[in-house]
Structure 1
């Protein structure tokens, strides 16, 4: 697993950060300075010299209030406060609303090698966007061996041993009108509060490897509607050739596959000759949509059997509450609810 603990300021200027609309005002270096927290900081009293709570590893954001203050107190007073502020080893200073920086700010920033950026966005809009972007860049990440597809709007991560047929199943799903996100290597990350998103690595994006055919460009073959750049992972589908007894026959076990500490529902599909795997995967997506709407077919069937047993035998149903999560039936016990599977690098 690879974890990002810091990100260079220059990452806020790349193509993926275009929504921030940032430009560099400084002509000196410093874009390799590191940000380690997704939260930004507005200096406030720090510009008057009280810098105790200024954190250099956060992006500093100056809006209309801060610039008006520096212009109103006079150049000498502004220089005293800004000099103490810049001595906090700031990673970067950003001006919003397209404001012009006062001369003391630029001079002292240059003296301390602090990059100065500017955006035309309003302060509140910029803070929302840059916080979201920094959360993405600083989130824990991992590379998983598998295939990620978007089926009916549901993100399905296909896992299994190498050569089991994950890519072939994904290709069949693309032929059915669904979308490929990543093949072979899926880069996953956490988005607050606890959702897992997956995407392809930059080199593998929109490509798929099919044994006997080699590398295919899915965009060129099927068009841009057949791919997407990233998707929330909502169900993990394991394709394997384990013994039939290893599978849940009723579909009532709450198995999960942990990714970066977040448990994702797991469905295990046994491989047999002649089975239409892509159709089964599509049904998994449809069933997940039903569960989002509060419809659990397996549980409803189980409750129907339990009711029938109670009516024919006179044995009362065990009382359960929705909070305890216990099965409202004397049928066989459920699974452990947590399965450690797959390859996480």
Structure 2
């Protein structure tokens, strides 16, 4: 199930007030205006009335330059520029460095119902943190039935039909020292440029359901080192009862599984009695680490075979025809001296 990527100013303030040290300066409501863009905007020339390229769905950040410009203008000129700027209508204004906004700025914002926020952070620090927070809050999101686990630093999303053994395999991996991120329901989001991150729902965080045992608190059982809050999904591992002809024996054909429009590498593990699924999943993570370092075992093996075949073909061409081809005997010329007979 996918959720729309937008957030109201009031909810954004609740989520970002502490990390961004934000306070609300306005008292005229309008906190239901929606922020729909991860990017922020510095007004610049827009404060002079040139508002052609103002995007009202972005948070408008006013720093020392913008406030000094407004104070350097005549009140009439400043108000005229602000009237055009705030009439877009803007989702909200955010003032950095803890600066005090001019009275005429607050009057124009009140008249247009634009919320005004303030942070004591320096503009560069504030913009950096604000951008990261917006990426987290506004990323496209969906929920997936599966188990997300961190194996050797690689985020593996285990998928498959209900009851196939995803949670049991994840529990075996936790016993090997790896870390649980989410069980049963994984909330996924896309972060720029094209990375998929997963986390557990708040109610399910650090818990796991094992048939026959019920709900387990992994933190209480194995400690805080056995869990983590979120992880980038780097490989999707499908556990299925696939037939022999349904999967690649060599592993040279790349397979992907799309998540919110991003193709994530896919590894398919067919279930058979007696197979150690947890160990196979761990090998998937180790093989992915090798690929990160530029080593693809399957492709390297295929290249060796192709090189051997090519070398054999070149050798056959150099040696000429095979032994079954008759070789003509050269005739002696009329002036040739016959070879002496050997007694």
For the aligned pair, the TM-score class normalised by the smaller chain equals 0.7 to 0.9
Kept in 1: contact 2:7–2:34 (CA 8 A): yes
In the TM superposition, what is the alpha-carbon distance from 1:284 to its structure 2 partner?
0.6
In the TM superposition, what is the alpha-carbon distance from 1:263 to its structure 2 partner?
1.4
**Deviates further, 77-86 or 200-209:** 77-86
How large is the Cα RMSD of the aligned pairs? 2.0
In the TM superposition, what is the alpha-carbon distance from 1:162 to its structure 2 partner?
0.3
**Deviates further, 202-211 or 11-20:** 11-20
- Alignment match, 1:136: 136
- Alignment match, 1:127: 127
In the TM superposition, what is the alpha-carbon distance from 1:276 to its structure 2 partner?
1.2
Q: Pairwise mapping of residues 298-337 of structure 1 onto structure 2 (< 5 A)?
A: 298-312=298-312, 314=314
CA distance in 2, matches of 1:17, 1:176: 39
Sort the Cα spacing of 1:274 and 1:104 in 2 relative to 1 into closer, same or farther, 3 A. Answer: same
In the TM superposition, what is the alpha-carbon distance from 1:154 to its structure 2 partner?
0.3
Kept in 2: contact 1:173–1:278 (CA 8 A): yes
- Alignment match, 2:186: 186
Kept in 2: contact 1:146–1:157 (CA 8 A): yes
- Alignment match, 1:198: 198
Kept in 2: contact 1:7–1:36 (CA 8 A): yes
Q: Secondary structure at the match of 2:40?
A: coil
CA distance in 2, matches of 1:17, 1:146: 33
1:216 counterpart = 2:205: no
Kept in 2: contact 1:90–1:114 (CA 8 A): yes
- Alignment match, 1:95: 95
- Alignment match, 1:33: 33
- Alignment match, 1:334: none
Q: Secondary structure at the match of 1:14?
A: helix
**Deviates further, 87-96 or 36-45:** 36-45
CA distance in 1, matches of 2:43, 2:191: 27
- Provide TM-score, normalisation by structure 1: 0.85
CA distance in 1, matches of 2:150, 2:270: 21
* Count of equivalent residues: 316
Kept in 1: contact 2:143–2:187 (CA 8 A): yes
In the TM superposition, what is the alpha-carbon distance from 1:315 to its structure 2 partner?
7.5
Kept in 2: contact 1:11–1:17 (CA 8 A): no
Gap regions ≥5 residues in structure 2: 317-343
Any idea what the Cα deviations from partners look like across 1:59-83, whole Å, max 9, x if unmatched? 1111101111222224343333323
In the TM superposition, what is the alpha-carbon distance from 1:232 to its structure 2 partner?
0.9
**Deviates further, 240-249 or 301-310:** 301-310
Q: Secondary structure at the match of 1:196?
A: strand
Any idea what the Cα deviations from partners look like across 1:124-156, whole Å, max 9, x if unmatched? 222222223223332222211111111000010
- Provide TM-score, normalisation by structure 2: 0.86
Gap regions ≥5 residues in structure 1: 317-345
CA distance in 2, matches of 1:138, 1:310: 53
- Alignment match, 2:154: 154
Kept in 1: contact 2:16–2:22 (CA 8 A): no
CA distance in 2, matches of 1:212, 1:114: 55
CA distance in 2, matches of 1:175, 1:5: 37
Q: Pairwise mapping of residues 1-345 of structure 1 onto structure 2 (< 5 A)?
A: 1-15=1-15, 18-312=18-312, 314=314
Kept in 2: contact 1:3–1:139 (CA 8 A): no
CA distance in 2, matches of 1:307, 1:258: 34
**Deviates further, 46-55 or 241-250:** 46-55
